Amino acid sequence: MRVLFCILSLFIGLNLCGKEINVTYPNCPFNLQLIIMRHKGLLENEFAKDGIKIKFHDIMNGPKQIKAAVTGKIDICGSLNTTSLIIAAGQNIKLKIVRAVCIPTGTFALLTTNPNIKSVKDLKGKTIACASKCSLHQILLEALAKNNMTIKDVNYIPMSDAETYNAMFDKKVDAGLLAAIEVVNAKKRGARVLTTAKGLMHPKLVVAVSESFAKNHPDWVKRYIKVQDEAMKFIKNHKHEALNIAAKDLGISYQDAEWLYNNTKLINTLSKDDIISLKKDIDFLYQQKLIPRKVKILSKDDAIELVFKNFVRDHISLCAVSLK
């Protein structure tokens, strides 16, 4: 029996040796839980006893996060917008939502430096830039639709957030969609906000993993969720310290970090309204031909079943959805 125990212990030790969990670390829009988790070493502390290392990857772009996850290069997408998830699902690429991160409605904005552009209506025929296949892209489409326009009425150029920011101030584009830090910095340099996401869409950031990772490592997923909860508790009890950490991490002032915090709703779970807004997003993206058919991005588990009026019946992971 003792020999068997030694063999099992050796096997377990060898199996855990070299194990690593790869987590994306997008610094935008304002993923405060993730910032605290990294700088406080909360994930490392949780998994150190099992010899499991944590490796963060600075991948902000939604589609790139998804590609990294489905190819196995990334295990956990620390903060991923649901627009990218919906568009990926339209290509039969599906990730599993395991937690929510934030609702950054107030920090996503369409801005311009062109003095002749006073409103969204003035963008007809103008050049606009933003990242594609993500929430910023959807906000642009929603803003145009609200003003009886489509993407065909403007000259749309897909660019990263950094490229959009530079192009706008280099006068290469007339307007751009930016998020969080870029919005703060752009406004300081004189850019004007034409509209935020408010009244257009309900942007949602979530934690997501591949279905194979969720199946093979359910305990790791559960422990990640536990650590994010610890980060939320720290933010609640030590807000000033948390914002100082974020300001240093992002290279901004404490006042800017506080503005981002006040305009970003940090959450751990998706509410009923959040889930209903997903249906609206899916309907809109289908109308805009960004997905070939209506899709589902909610996890199908046995944990709980929710039914909404005019909403397709679906099974939703209890860890990702709040009944309140």
Q: Would 2-104+204-315 and 106-196 be classified into the same CATH topology?
A: yes
Q: Would you state the pLDDT for residue 18?
A: 52
Calculate mean pLDDT across residues 237-252. Answer: 97
Q: Would you state the pLDDT for residue 297?
A: 83
Regarding the domain with residue range 106-196, which homologous superfamily does it belong to in the CATH classification?
Periplasmic binding protein-like II (3.40.190.10)
| CA-based nearest residue to 243, from 12, 2, 39 | 39
CATH fold of the domain at 2-104+204-315:
D-Maltodextrin-Binding Protein; domain 2 (3.40.190)
Residue 58 has pLDDT above 60, yes or no: yes
Q: What is the pTM for the complete model shown?
A: 0.86
The C-alpha atoms of residue 58 and residue 283 are separated, in whole angstroms, by 31
| CA-based nearest residue to 242, from 257, 263, 264 | 257
Give the residue ranges of DSSP H helices in 49-126: 62-70, 82-89
Q: Would you state the pLDDT for residue 300?
A: 53
Residue 65 has pLDDT above 90, yes or no: yes
pLDDT band at 148 (very low <50, low <70, confident <90, very high): very high
Q: What are 277-303's pLDDT values in tens digits?
A: 999 999 999 999 999 999 888 765 423
Residue spans per domain, the chain: 2-104+204-315, 106-196
